[in-house]
Amino acid sequence: MENTNDIIHGEEINKPITKSILLFFSHLNEIQKFIFRFFREAFTPPYELKEIIRQCYTMGYLSLGIITLTGFITGIVFTKQSRQPPADFGATSWLPSLVSLALIRALAPLITALIAAGKIGSNIGAELGSMNVTEQIEAMEVSGTNPFNFLVVSRVLAITCTMPILMTYACFVGLMGSYLNINHNEQTSFTTFIHDAFGKITFLDIFASLFKSLLYGFTIGIAGSYLGYNAKQGTVGVGKAANTAVVVSMFLIFIEEILIVQVVNSMR
């Protein structure tokens, strides 16, 4: 009797697990198809240049405020918190290079990507999700327009192109924040600060950061678009798409960061 119960119990547990695993792989397959479709349509005319520029403005220019705020504060706080260890050895002159290395190699790409995942990724998920559940995407399709090209390709290209610019800008304002703090404490001149800050930066650092930003932008764009474009269950689905877009983007960004750091470090 005990054995029978175990078997029945075992089946009850296993069924949902099997279903979840199958669902996971089915999603992976759909995402892979979605990405292939993106590349196919991105290189097929007609090109929606006007829409790409409009999206760059919405995603890039309208994100400058929050990037300025977070970048600047990060620069100040990171410099302030990092001062004590070098100060113990009388080596505060190392601070500009320490901060710039941290900002360019890791902080600026990561902070920009996380802000973009929250602000832009959720926006893409919610916008496409609501267009889907209100039949606007179907309306585009039946009017002889390719909604994937107009909605997905334009958004993914826009965020992929915008992210390196936003990251560079975040670096700049972060360094300005850092300079403010260093100048206040050590009375270092701007020229000396810039000279020290960029003394240790290599081409590989800049290239890796720009590449990371492109990849993060692409990840956020694809995650938001995929989830929004396939949103179901009405307004609940829209909320779910926006929320999941942020969570999935952030998760993938951290995974990519770990992998890229390993590769770049092996190249140094």
Partner 1 sequence: MSTDIPYTNTKEAVIAIKNLYKSFDENKVLNGIDLELHKGENVVVLGRSGSGKSVLIKIIAGLLKPDKGIVSVFQEQIDLLNFKELQKLRLRMGFSFQSGALYDGMNVRENLEFPLVRNQRKLGRKQVNDAVEQVLHDVGLLQTINQLPSELSGGQKKRIGIARTLILKPEIMFYDEPTGGIDPITCVEINNLINKVQQQYNTSSIIITHDLTCAKTTVDRIAILSEGKITKNGSFDEVFESEDPNAKAFYNYNFIAKK
Query: Would you tell me which residues interact with partner 1 (CB under 8 A)?
Result: 46, 130-131, 134-136, 138-146, 150
Contact between residue 95 and residue 86 where contact means Cβ atoms under 8 Å apart: yes
Distance, CA of 206 to CA of 225 (rounded, Å): 28
Tallying the residues shown for the chain, one arrives at 268
Give the nearest distance from C-beta 255 to partner 1 in angstroms.
33
The residues, any chain, with a CB within 8 Å of residue 217's CB and separated by 6 or more, are 113, 116, 159, 160, 161, 162, 163, 164
Question: Which residue type sits at 219?
Answer: T
Closest approach, Cβ 133 to partner 1, in A, equals: 10
The residue (of 69 and 139) whose beta carbon lies closer to partner 1 is 139
| Angle at the Cα of 188 from the Cα atoms of 186 and 191, rounded to 5 degrees | 165
Q: Closer CB to partner 1, residue 52 or residue 194?
A: 52
Report the distance separating Cα 165 and Cα 225, nearest Å. 21
Please tell me the distance from the alpha carbon of residue 175 to that of residue 78, in angstroms, as a whole number: 10
> Which two three-digit tokens encode residue 224?
């938001």
Up-side HSE of residue 249: CA atoms within 13 Å toward CB? Answer: 37
Measured from the Cβ of residue 194, the count of other Cβ atoms closer than 10 Å reads: 14
Q: To the nearest whole angstrom, how small is the minimum distance from the Cβ of residue 120 to partner 1?
A: 16
CB of 146 to partner 1, least distance (A): 7
**What is the closest distance, in whole angstroms, from the C-beta atom of residue 252 to partner 1 in the complex?**
28
Which residue number, 131 or 159, has a Cβ lying nearer to partner 1? 131
Cβ-based nearer residue to partner 1, 61 or 207: 61
Q: Decide whether 54 or 195 has the Cβ nearer to partner 1.
A: 54
Shortest separation between residue 13's beta carbon and partner 1, angstroms: 23
Select 96 or 224, whichever has its Cβ closest to partner 1: 224
